[in-house]
Amino acid sequence: MASILKKYIEYLPLAGTSDVDGIGEGNTPLVKSSSIGGNSRLYFKMEQLNPTGSFKDRFAALETELMKRQGIRAFIATSSGNTGAALAAYAARHGIRCLLFVNEITPAAKLDQMLVYGAEVFRVKDFGVSNELSAPIFERLQQLADEGSTRLVISAYKYSPDGMEGVKTIAYEIVEQFGGVPDHIFVPVGGGGLLSGIWRGFRDLKARGLIEMLPKLNAVQPELNDTVVSAVNENAKSAREVITTTSISGLAVQVDIDASLAVRSVSESNGRGFLVSDEVVLDTQSSLARKEGIYVEPAGAVSTAGYLKALETGFIKDDESAVCILTGHGLKTASSGSATTAGPVKFIQIGDIGIGLLAEH
């Protein structure tokens, strides 16, 4: 199967050559539901079947390809888990040094992945708890990148817009696999980049005359990290910042990174927002496994939890089709305890973030 970077090169910022290198990202199946929701027109986009187990591979494949072309030999990045694993893998593929700064609740299994691929991992105290605590850490990491003449990579349009264009390919594949445009897309929202990227992809196809209609994009978030959903449903123009307490790893993004972009994307599509409790998410994760044979991490089950809520409230009509984006594999949050054999995770505080880290080997 051709690399999605080569397959969709005309839609991506890869001018100059079609010589691109991937490890099998994209081309994930679109699977029809067998029982969940009782709706024969429900489908799952199986992004957990990407090489490192999440949709972030689409971003990492393009971002590292661009870094390779620009001669960048080392970079720093932030991650709550899946981005770090994806960047570590693709950096290893291209021989680029990868320094990852993660929050305190990143699951052990995701740390395992980062370390196995050879990344250097730093867990930063208070990172990802609130904007007040996280903002100075972001600022210091940007300073570090500037001092080291490299880049700070974050899977968001706000920070890495070119790499994030890789996410658009999800929309292209859905149209190809579905044979048209579904009525609804349900997307889990953390930072907001995934939903925003999918919307950009559908708009690309509409602008080129390849599709006639656009789907309704529906944002789904944990109740304990409501940056986007209430804003959408209240017709606000921008997201709000919160103190997050959700246990759903990967969606605990309390600041407005691409969240306002996601708010606008949902509104433009005439979609809605849905809040679900952490408990409902875990129940839905179990249902996907037991009823569909699909094992996703809790964040990957959020879209389906939102779909079920939309079904209960009558927002989804019986004759309407829907696609739930399943973002990450269930093994992402299964603790293996093997990180110590792959390499150490270094616990640091903001004062420890200095240029010396780039010099360490």
Mean pLDDT taken over the chain: 89
Q: Which amino acid is at 278?
A: D
Shared domain for 121 and 17, answered yes or no, is no
Position with higher pLDDT, 128 vs 106: 106
Alpha carbon 264 to its chain centroid, in Å, reads 18
**Rounded distance between C-alpha atoms, residue 47 and residue 326, angstroms:** 6
User: Whole-angstrom Cα distance, residue 331 to residue 129?
Assistant: 24
Predicted confidence (pLDDT) at residue 133 exceeds the cutoff of 90: no
The pLDDT assigned to 204 comes to 96
Quick one: pLDDT band at residue 39, thresholds 50, 70, 90?
low
**Cβ 84 vs Cβ 92: under 8 Å:** no
Would you state the structure tokens that stand for residue 229, as one six-digit string? Answer: 């959903």
Q: Could you tell me which of 154, 102, 138 has the C-alpha nearest to residue 345?
A: 102
Q: Which range of residues forms the domain containing residue 22?
A: 4-55+163-333
Compute the distance between CA of residue 223 and CA of residue 279 in angstroms, rounded to an integer. 10
Residue 288, number of CB atoms within 10 A of its CB:
23
Q: What is the pLDDT of residue 248?
A: 82
> Taking residues 183-206, what's their average pLDDT?
96
Question: What pLDDT does 351 receive?
Answer: 84
The yes-or-no verdict on residue 166 having pLDDT over 90 is yes
Residues 176 and 119 in one domain: no
Let me know whether 218 and 271 are in one domain.
Answer: yes
340/328 same-domain check:
no
Amino acid at 246: T
The residue written with tokens 């996907």 in the block is 288
Cα–Cα distances in angstroms (integers) from residue 137 to residues 100, 144, 195, 347, in the given order:
13, 10, 26, 14
**One domain, residues 49 and 188:** yes
pLDDT at position 180 is 97
**Same domain for 327 and 344:** no
For residue 120, give the DSSP letter: E
Residues 122 and 186 in one domain: no
Domain count, the chain: 2
**pLDDT band of 1, cuts 50, 70, 90:** low
**Is 271 found in the same domain as 174?**
yes
What distances in angstroms separate CA 292 from CA 36, 193, 323, one per listed residue?
7, 27, 15
- Specify whether the CB–CB gap between 298 and 246 falls below 8 A: no
In this structure, the answer to whether residues 209 and 318 fall within a common structural domain is: yes
Q: What percent of the chain has pLDDT over 70?
A: 94
Q: What angle do CA 194, 197, 202 make, to 5 degrees?
A: 125
Burial letters 53-90, b for 16+ CB under 10 A, else e: bbbbbbbbbbbbbbbbeeebebbbbbbbbbbbbbbbbb
pLDDT score for 288: 96
C-alpha distances in angstroms, 3 versus 24, 90, 199? Answer: 6, 13, 22
Provide the edge-to-edge strand list for the sheet that holds 152-153: 152-153, 74-79, 97-102, 120-124, 346-348
Same-domain pairing of 115 and 27 = no
DSSP label at residue 117: T
Q: Could you tell me the pLDDT band of residue 225, with boundaries at 50, 70 and 90?
A: confident
* pLDDT score at 208: 96
- The span from the CA of 264 to the CA of 200, in Å, is 12
Per-residue pLDDT band at 60 (split at 50, 70, 90): very high
Residues 95 and 200 in one domain: no
Write the CATH number for 108: 3.40.50.1100
Q: Which pLDDT band holds residue 337 (cuts at 50, 70, 90)?
A: very low
**Is the domain of 134 the same as that of 184?**
no
Residue that the structure tokens 């693709």 belong to = 90
Tell me the CA distances in angstroms from 257 to 117, 155, 254, one per residue in order.
27, 10, 9
